[in-house]
Chains A and B, each alone.
Chain A
Amino acid sequence: MKSSERLTKAWYGVLVLLMAFGGWAIIERVQAGLVVTNLTSDMTWGAWVAFYIFFVGLSVGSFLLSTMFFVFKMEKYQKISRDALLVAILSMGLAMCFILLDLGRMERFWHTLRYWNFTSMLAWEVRFYAIYIGLLTVEFYFSMRQDLIRVAQGTGWQASLVSFLTFGSTDLTDKSKQRDHKLLKNFRLNWNSHCYFRSSRGGRYAFCRG
């Protein structure tokens, strides 16, 4: 075994140990409640809230990065554009996990969507997160559609699973490709606020000149 391979294995071992520790901590927290966190009524919010905000920020950053290719056609970002979208989705998932752990009554998380207090920033946030995650998922799907169709034309269980996702489409022509790209682009332009569009366009020009 090469030494670099050994190093990788050791690193993975450390990661697995850390994950096991995290899993144990989550079980502790779920069983015993927030009392294990050492939070108090004077210090009400702890690291989980900070992590949650961090991952939301990470997600939006990744999303903007993917925009470089999907909307502004900056080819040098093509390689990472889809990865960036995936990171955006995963980050949102993580952020939601953190904030779920932080709730005093986790089983009532759905109350945040069922009941709405118009003046509460948090209530608005939750709704926008839901829309945003939906948007990311749809975009991710369209960014992968061409490849999915390709896989669906193969054989085996992957193919049948994927053909379910592509609704049996076999259209791999340039036209369908262009349509997907256009969809991706329009989706963003329609969904994101005018303000965001303007600022990214400004950014693009600055970038191109530089």
Chain B
Amino acid sequence: MSKRITLKDLDAYYGSFRAVEGVTLTIEPRSVTAFIGPSGCGKSTLLRTLNRMHEVVPGARVEGEVLLDGRDLYAPGVDPVLVRRQVGMVFQRPNPFPTMTIRENVLAGVKLNNRRIAKADAEELTERSLRGANLWNEVKDRLNLPANGLSGGQQQRLCIARAIAVQPEVLLMDEPCSALDPISTLAIEDLIEELKQDYTIVIVTHNMQQASRVSDRTAFFNIAGTGTPGRLIEYDDTRVMFSRPSAQATEDYVSGRFG
């Protein structure tokens, strides 16, 4: 299922402001890649260019290439809707649909697209996705209750279940644990560990321990100052990044001396 992502000299703009500049890197399939860096360096922006969510912001645009198994996502004629079905996303703040029940939330990707699904298949998909997100046992008795009755951590795992229910190739996570307690965080980290068997995972995090715990490769981004574009400083195996990085800025950042 999972796919390799290659970025070639990617620039991301908000109107005339260049938020990310000249990023070139390759994200391996069936692995977890972490984006780290100080606030405002463009991690979320870069993440959102990977499933064409960046252009949802009015005036936002992208230059350069993002290749998904060699196919450019920004080539003319590529349908962003189809891209997003292959590259799923989990947001920083849990955002279940308030008008829907837990079950409807999990099936949202199917139902919202007006696709017909047999009742048995829907049951099966709901259970598989919720089990995949480690949430099944907690909600199996209240699938028909509103989703905003769940705790924050449960809501976030519901959002993960919702994202994996459309069976994407890649899963993007933008600080998925920043609103969660340590126990929910651990549950999600375990989940990421399991999900990487099937998916290519990219995670943005501010938590150095988390990056070193869950990721195989780590990319460090930085900005020269406010108003300047974010750049990729260093990209390497997570072990290397946290033990003997080659750039001084990386060492300062991962050891907590700045940022």
Please say whether chains A and B are actual partners in one complex.
no
Q: Enumerate chain B interface residues (CB-CB to A < 8 A).
A: none
Q: Enumerate chain A interface residues (CB-CB to B < 8 A).
A: none
